[in-house]
Structure 1
Amino acid sequence: MPTEQVENSAFSTSEWTLQSQPVLESESRWSKGSDYCIALPEKLGKGASFGFNYNDDSALQINELNFNQKTKFTADSTKLCGTFFVLEGRVSITTPATGNVMIPKDHLCLFFIEQSACTFEYSAGKNKVMSFTMSHGLMSSLIAQYQSANSVSSLIEKNFICLPINAAIKSMLNQVYDCQLPAKSMKLLVQAKMMELMTELLEYNQIYHNSLATIKETDLKAIYQAAKYLETNMQSPPSIVELAKIVGVNDYKLKQQFKTVFSSAPFAYLTELRLNRAASLLARTELSIMQVAQEVGYKHAGHFAKNFKLKFGRTPKAYKTWISSKNT
């Protein structure tokens, strides 16, 4: 694997060399069947990435990472196709040619990356991410089962296609995670399940985008505008009715279509944004707990602390202490 540059505002820029290596001892059961394990440097957090390489140029990487704060990795990429599945946390991918795509929790992203530098940004806290990659030829042949010849090129040219994880795909991912077979058998079953999942995903992509096609283009723009408005106004967000007026749709349509696009109600989406922002502030500023709570829009420190612990497993105070201990 390539050498990646680690950018983290709490630490000086350093290199994290990711090379295939013998599987490290790990509490994770993935350490038994994987071909390699890459431990996250302690200064960045805890956890590891586990890799499975297959003979048909496909590969699966399972990332179970808990970052001290929002963290970026930059790598030179070969021409790659595949899918990211974000089960916890949030991942943003940036390339010079395509710009940025953000993949929130319980979403997946089909990707078609040309050879270029890619930046992957992970949210603070727990990130549980699976990535399955394959050759351009194999991906094209799979897409061709669901698309016309002209549509294959059209789909690949989109570079990134972000979708909510539906119940069927969630069930298949759980089957991968719940696999208890011996190491060699597990590796083969995981590959078969991931290929099955990819075909399910491509069919789902068609169905999902057909459902988005029922949303008028102006309404779809309004939904994305609403999400952006919540992000930039998290200190004093509008009510649903006010937000609907700001973006120019009625409140019923906003609620229904926001959930169709993001698989989350507007204010559940806002809560996720607030807590990720709070973790970053706790890690890199000297603001008090109350100041951080107010900065991200919480009026009551108790409510903030309760929600924060649900997401990160620590109270804000314990989280700040833990981060400080990592930097000493």
Structure 2
Amino acid sequence: MKPMQDPTRKDINRIYAGFNQAYRAEPERYEFLNISQFCDTDNGVRLELNDDKARGYWELYRPNNDMLICLAEGHYHARYDQRIMPTEDIVTLRFVLSGNYGLTFKSEGRVEIPQASASILYTKKEREFDLSIANDSHLSSVTLHMKPNFLYNSFGINRSKMPSHLQDVVFGGKLNKNLYNFPLSPGMMNNIIDLLRMPYEGARRRLFTEAKSAELTCRLFQEIEDDFKAIPVMATPAHTLKIKLYEAQRILVERYQAPPTIAALAREVGLNRTTLCAEFKEIFGSTVSEFCQSYRMNKARELLQDRNLSISQVAEEVGYEHPSNFTAAFKKQFGFLPKAIRAF
């Protein structure tokens, strides 16, 4: 598989750089084994990752000339680096469920993209940057690249509705203010899982991808605008509590293999146990324990897609010492045994 890496990287770079225009113009350039169409139009490609660096996939779909959608799912055994050179201004919305990676700019240096985060990045034309994914990282993400005017016009993005610290990020002002991260809300997290687990093919896959990507964008900017309206009461106890609960969620996502006890988590975020349990369920719609278990089982379901991993290896990867306990927990969560995944 080694000889496939260089052309694959070049074509990934071209897809990012030209909004997949290269694929439309020269489809024959994409006729190598690890790429295949995944939807019913000529605007989607799937890149299988199956070498010594990573196992998983990237799906790239361009619903129109102004937008590129990238779904990424995979386990990276070694560090992965990719240089990106946009040929025009691009606004990127990146929704990261899990995975440790960052962006390196020549003038600003490296910025980390947190797990369980949504971020907005405005990249100027020909302002290259390096994207890197850490070794031993399981990446689950949805990335939406859009031409600025398409984003503003299609989704009703108005500068006056943005807080001052986001205006340059969203509308392309000072280069040292081109990236901002937010914690994933429960709704955004569910959208990401829906996109990465969709069972559809053909026209349905295309429509579902487009609809859920639009929903993610709507959710992100609605939440930004709602928070902006609440700025006069940002220092209230209710707002402080919300920040602490999102911090608790982030900790649970990052340490899903061995999550802290509820008591330890409460101490870490500065809440008492009763308040943490009650308010966590109010905001996220599940108890702390239910959230941990659901997230862990969904990670297991992702890993089971890799047929090179045994079920016992997957169990160990998600924090189970005994495979039998993992099998029982998986069946309780999904209603079928882990081995049934391999039959799909």
For residues 227 and 297 of structure 1, what CA distance do their matches in structure 2 show?
18
- CA apart distance, 1:98: 5.8
Q: How does 1:266-277 map to 2 (within 5 A)?
A: 266-271=288-293, 272=295
| Letter aligned with residue 49 of structure 1 | E
Q: Partners in 2 of 1:165 and 1:304 — Cα distance?
A: 25
Deviations 1:53-96, CA, capped at 9 Å, x for gaps: 634xx22224364x35567543223353132356xx63444123
**Residues 108 and 224 of structure 1, relative CA distance in 2, 3 Å threshold:** closer
Report the count of equivalent residues. 286
In structure 2, the CA distance between the partners of 1:54 and 1:296, relative to structure 1 (3 Å rule), is closer
Change in Cα spacing, 1:302 to 1:146, as seen in structure 2 (3 Å) is farther
Picking from 203, 208, 218, the partner of 2:222 is 203
Q: Give the structure 2 partner of residue 76 of structure 1.
A: 83
CA contact (8 A) 1:231 1:270 kept: no
Match in the other structure for 2:266? 244
Q: In 1, Cα distance between the equivalents of 2:258 and 2:59? A: 35
**How many Å apart are 1:251 and its aligned residue?**
1.6
Shift of 1:131: 2.8
- Whether the 8 Å contact between 2:120 and 2:169 is mirrored in structure 1 is no
Alignment gaps of 5+ in structure 1: 1-10, 320-328
Kindly indicate whether the alpha-carbon contact (under 8 Å) linking 1:110 and 1:162 is maintained by their aligned counterparts in 2: no
Q: Indicate the residue corresponding to 1:52 in structure 2.
A: 62
Q: Distance in 2 between matches of 1:224 and 1:136?
A: 31
1:17 match = 9
Distance 1:274 1:193 in 2: 22
Using the size of structure 1 for normalisation, the TM-score is 0.58
CA contact (8 A) 2:93 2:120 kept: yes
Percent sequence identity is 13
Which residue number in structure 2 is paired with residue 131 of structure 1? 143
Tell whether the 8 Å contact from 1:163 to 1:205 is kept in structure 2 after alignment: no
Paired position in structure 2 for 1:37 = 45
Scaled by the length of structure 2, the TM-score of the pair is 0.56
RMSD: 5.6
SS state at 1:302 partner: helix
Aligned to 2:132, what secondary structure does the other structure show? strand
Which residue of the partner structure matches residue 153 of structure 1? 167
Quote how far apart the aligned CAs of 1:41 are. Answer: 3.5
| Distance in structure 2 (CA, Å) of the matches to 1:200 and 1:148 | 14
Q: Which residue identity does 2:145 align to in structure 1? A: T
Letter of the 1:112 partner, please give it: Y
Aligned partner of 2:60: which letter? F
- The 2-side partners of 1:226 and 1:192 are apart by 26
